[in-house]
Amino acid sequence: MDIAAVNSLSYEQFVEVFGNAVEKCPLVAAAVWSSRPFTSIADIDDAFGHFIDSLPDSGKEGVLRCHPDLAGRDLQSGTLTADSLAEQSQAGLTQLGVAEAERIAVLNSQYKLRFGFPFVICARMNDKTSILQQLSQRLANDHAHELTHAIGEVKRICSLRLQALVCPTHLGPAQPNHVPPRL
């Protein structure tokens, strides 16, 4: 889909296409629709990022709570979104050994208990080893730092999902072939 096609989408169509750019948060896409017309994928990405950044901390935590635990119950029960399943599979989280699965389950529980939202990391930019390492390390963060870090990961995930939805040939001459991660 090119930028002209994106700009021509009705509200309902836009929410249907971009509703999972932020995991299970079609409200973000609904809010971003009013930012049209977009000039590039970077413009769309900026609109999503600005909306997320404008949320109060409670709203940011709500966005984070929409994310599934990595290699968690949703994966086991087959209820992950197609995007999350592909991302977790690419990172090797669908092929964990018993010990790895137990370790990630314990760390996920500790993280959720400490911060009140699931651990979020851009799985497409990591593998299972780095994910487990970062999950362990980020448990030591204070709440404010972790909220900022986790929202940065949400925006990375969103950027990659947007890039997959909008044809890269319409990025414009000054844009790279990928959307750089933002914190």
Catalytic residue numbers read 67
Residues 6+ apart with CB under 8 A from 138: 111, 119, 146, 149
What contacts 52, CB < 8 A, 6 or more positions away? 22, 28, 60, 63, 151, 154, 155, 158
| Residue 117: Cβ-neighbour burial (10 angstroms; 0-12, 13-18, 19+) | buried
